[in-house]
Structure 1
Amino acid sequence: MLLDSFDWVTIPAGFFWMGTNLEVDQVAAADDWAKLVELPQHKVSLPSYQISRFPVTNAQWVQFLAHSNYPWADRDKLWGHGLPKGQENHPIVWVTWHDAVAFCKWTGVRLPTEAEWEKAARGIDKRLYPWGNHAPTSQLANYDKQVGKTTAVDAYPQGKSYYGLFDMAGNTWEWTSTIWGTDTHNPEFRYPYQADDGRENMDNPDILRVVRSGGWKYTPSLIRCAYRDWNKPHVRGSGLSFRVVAF
Structure 2
Amino acid sequence: MPHLFISYAKKDTRQLALALADALNNIDGLTAWVDRSLRAGRAWELQIQEQIDRCDAMIVLYSPDINRHKNGKPESYVLTEIAYAKYTAHKPIIPVMAQTTDPPISLTMEHYIDFTMDGLTLDDLVAALCDELEVEHSASGASVAPLPQPADPTAAAIQHARAFTGKRNRDWQPYVTTFSDLKIPDMPFCLVPAGEFIMGSDDIDRAKPAHPQIIEQPYWIAQYPVTNRQWFMAVQAGVVSEPHNIGDVLKWYRDDAMLDAPVAGVDWFMARDFAAWLGCRLPTEREWEYAARGVENWVYPWGNDWNPDFAVWSENSDGKPAVVMAKPEGASWVDARHMSGNVWEWTSSLYEAYPYHPDDGRERDTGNSTDVRRVVRGGSFFFNSDVARAAYRYSRYSSYRFYSSGFRVVVSSILI
Distance (Å, rounded) in 1 between the aligned partners of 2:316 and 2:251: 28
- In the alignment, does 2:225 pair up with 1:60? no
Counterpart position of 2:409:
244
Residue identity in the other structure for 1:202: D
Alpha carbons 1:3, 1:108 under 8 Å: kept: no
Distance (Å, rounded) in 1 between the aligned partners of 2:238 and 2:275: 12
RMSD of aligned alpha carbons: 2.1
Distance (Å, rounded) in 2 between the aligned partners of 1:178 and 1:78: 25
Structure whose alpha-carbon radius of gyration is higher: 2
- In the alignment, does 2:185 pair up with 1:4? yes
Alpha carbons 1:55, 1:153 under 8 Å: kept: yes
Q: TM-score of the superposition, structure 1-length normalised?
A: 0.85
C-alpha distance after superposition, 1:23-45 (max 9, x if no partner): xxxxxx4xxxx22x212211111
Q: Per the alignment, do residues 124 and 70 of structure 1 end up closer, same or farther by CA in structure 2, a change over 3 Å counting?
A: same
Alpha carbons 1:68, 1:106 under 8 Å: kept: no
Q: Which moved more, 1:62-71 or 1:113-122?
A: 62-71
Alpha carbons 2:293, 2:333 under 8 Å: kept: yes
Gaps (5+ residues) in structure 1? 23-28, 181-188
Distance (Å, rounded) in 2 between the aligned partners of 1:116 and 1:5: 22
Q: How many percent of aligned residue pairs carry the same amino acid?
A: 35
Distance (Å, rounded) in 1 between the aligned partners of 2:353 and 2:252: 44
Residue identity in the other structure for 2:210: Q
Counterpart position of 1:184:
none
SS in 1 for 2:185: helix
C-alpha distance after superposition, 1:95-122 (max 9, x if no partner): 0001001101211110000000000000
Q: Per the alignment, do residues 104 and 140 of structure 1 end up closer, same or farther by CA in structure 2, a change over 3 Å counting?
A: same
- In the alignment, does 2:393 pair up with 1:233? no
- In the alignment, does 2:219 pair up with 1:45? no
User: Cα distance, 1:72 vs. partner?
Assistant: 4.0
- In the alignment, does 2:209 pair up with 1:17? no
Report which structure shows greater RCO (CA 8 Å, sep ≥6).
1
Q: TM-score of the superposition, structure 2-length normalised?
A: 0.52
C-alpha distance after superposition, 1:168-227 (max 9, x if no partner): 0011100000001xxxxxxxx222211011000122522010000000111111100000
User: Cα distance, 1:80 vs. partner?
Assistant: 8.2
Counterpart position of 2:376:
211
Larger helix proportion, structure 1 or 2?
Answer: 2
Aligned mate of 1:220, from 381, 385, 405: 385
SS in 1 for 2:198: strand
User: Cα distance, 1:15 vs. partner?
Assistant: 1.4
Counterpart position of 1:140:
310
Alpha carbons 2:252, 2:258 under 8 Å: kept: no
Counterpart position of 1:191:
354
User: Cα distance, 1:5 vs. partner?
Assistant: 2.5
SS in 2 for 1:174: strand
Gaps (5+ residues) in structure 2? 1-181
Q: How does 1:20-35 map to 2 (within 5 A)?
A: 20=201, 22=202, 29=203, 34-35=204-205
C-alpha distance after superposition, 1:64-83 (max 9, x if no partner): 11013534463799548973
